Structure 1
Amino acid sequence: MKSDGFTTSSSALPLGFTWGAVAAGIKVSGKPDLAAAVATKGAKAAAMFTRNQVVAAPVTVGQRHLLGTGGRVGALLVNAGNANCATGQAGIEACIQTCTAAAESFGCIFDEVVPSSTGIIGVPFPTEKVLNALPTLTAALGSTQDHAEAFAQAILTTDTKMKVARAVIDVEGVEVRIFGAAKGAGMIHPQLVAPAGPPHATMLVYLFTDLSAEPAEMNALLAPAVERSFNSISIDGDTSTNDTVLLLASGASGVKLDERVQEAFANALALVCGSLAHQIVEDGEGVGHVVTLHISGAANEADAKLVAKTIATSPLCKTAWSSADPNWGRLLAAAGRSGVAIEAERITIAIGAQPVFEHGMRAAGFDEAATHEVMLRREYTISMHLGMGEAECRYITCDLTEEYVRINADYST
Structure 2
Amino acid sequence: MKTEPPMKSEGLPQGFSWGAVKAGIKASGKTDLAAAVATKGANGAAMFTKNQVVAAPVTVGRRHLTNTGGRIGAVLVNAGNANCATGQPGIDACVQTCAAAAESFHCIFDEVFPSSTGIIGVPFPTEKVIAALPALVAEMGDTPEHAELFAKAIMTTDTRMKVARAAIDVDGVEVRIFGAAKGAGMIHPQLGAPVGPPHATMLVYLFTDIAAESAQLQEVLAPAVERSFNSISIDGDTSTNDTVLLLASGASGVKLDTRTQEAFTNALKLVCGSLAYQIVDDGEGVGHVVTLHITGARTEAEAKQVAKSIAHSPLCKTAWSSADPNWGRLMAAAGYSGVAFDPALVTVAIGDLPVYELGVRAPAFDKAAVHEVMLGRDYTIRLDMGLGTAECRFLTCDLTEEYVRINADYSS
Which band: TM-score by shorter chain? over 0.9
After TM superposition, the score normalised by the length of structure 2 is 0.97
Secondary structure in structure 1 of the residue aligned to 2:217: helix
Residue 27 of structure 1 is matched in structure 2 by: 26
Deviation, structure 1 residue 367:
0.1
* Inter-partner Cα distance in structure 2 for 1:122 and 1:108: 30
| Maintained 8 Å contact 2:60/2:95 | yes
What's the CA shift for 1:259?
1.6
SS of 1:86 mapped into structure 2: coil
1:6-32 superposed Cα distances (whole Å, 9 cap, x missing partner): 333564100000000000000011100
Q: How does 1:217-296 map to 2 (within 5 A)?
A: 217-296=216-295
Give the 3 Å change call, closer, same or farther, for CA 214–192 of structure 1 in structure 2: farther
Choose 185-194 or 264-273, whichever is displaced more.
Answer: 185-194
What is the alpha-carbon distance in structure 2 between the residues aligned to residue 220 and residue 304 of structure 1?
24
Alignment partner of 2:123: what SS?
Answer: coil
Alignment partner, residue 56 of structure 1: 55
Q: In the alignment, which of 3, 6, 22 is matched to residue 2 of structure 2?
A: 6
The 1:408/1:86 distance shift into structure 2, 3 A limit, reads: same
Deviations 1:124-146 (A, max 9, x none): 00000000000000000000000
Cα pair distance change 1:406/1:412, threshold 3 Å: same
Matched, 1:298 2:297: yes
Q: Is contact 2:200–2:225 with CA below 8 Å preserved after alignment? A: no
Aligned residues of 1:15 and 1:252 also touching (Cα < 8 A): yes
Q: Give me the identity figure in percent.
A: 77
Structure 2 residue runs without a partner (length 5+): none
Asked whether the equivalents of residues 49 and 192 of structure 1 are also in contact (C-alpha less than 8 Å), the reply is no
Secondary structure of the structure 1 residue equivalent to 2:394: strand
Deviations 1:287-346 (A, max 9, x none): 000000000000000000000000000000000000000000000011111000111111
- For residues 129 and 64 of structure 2, what CA distance do their matches in structure 1 show? 19
Q: Deviations over 1:95-119 (max 9, x none)?
A: 1100000001101001100000000
Judging changes above 3 Å, is the alpha-carbon distance between structure 1 residues 58 and 238 closer, same or farther for their aligned structure 2 residues?
Answer: same
Partner amino acid for 2:360? M
Contiguous gaps of at least 5 residues in structure 1: none
User: 1:182 maps to what in 2?
Assistant: 181
Which residue of 2 is the match for residue 86 of structure 1? 85
1:216 and 2:212 matched: no
Contact 2:17–2:140 under 8 Å retained in 1: yes
> How far apart are residue 190 of structure 1 and its match?
2.2
Deviations 1:50-70 (A, max 9, x none): 000000000000000000000
In 2 relative to 1, CA 359–276 (structure 1 residues): closer, same or farther, beyond 3 Å? same
Name the amino acid aligned to 1:251: G
Letter in 2 for 1:132: A
Tell me how far apart the structure 2 counterparts of residues 49 and 179 of structure 1 sit (CA, whole Å). 20
| C-alpha distance in 1 between matches for 2:189 and 2:205 | 15
Q: Secondary structure at the match of 1:160?
A: coil
Task: Supply the RMSD in Å over aligned alpha carbons.
Answer: 1.4
Aligned length, in residue pairs: 409
In structure 2, the CA distance between the partners of 1:73 and 1:300, relative to structure 1 (3 Å rule), is same
TM-score normalised by the chain length of structure 1: 0.97
- Which residue of 2 is the match for residue 98 of structure 1? 97
How far apart, in 2, do the equivalents of 1:28 and 1:284 lie? 21
Distance 1:340 1:381 in 2: 21
Q: What amino acid maps onto 2:53 in structure 1?
A: V
Contact 2:225 2:272 (C-alpha < 8 Å) held by counterparts: yes
Q: Distance in 2 between matches of 1:378 and 1:55?
A: 34
SS in structure 2 opposite 1:255?
A: coil
Q: CA deviation at 1:195?
A: 6.7
Distance 1:201 1:174 in 2: 31
Partner of 1:355: 354
- Secondary structure in 2 aligned to 1:47? strand
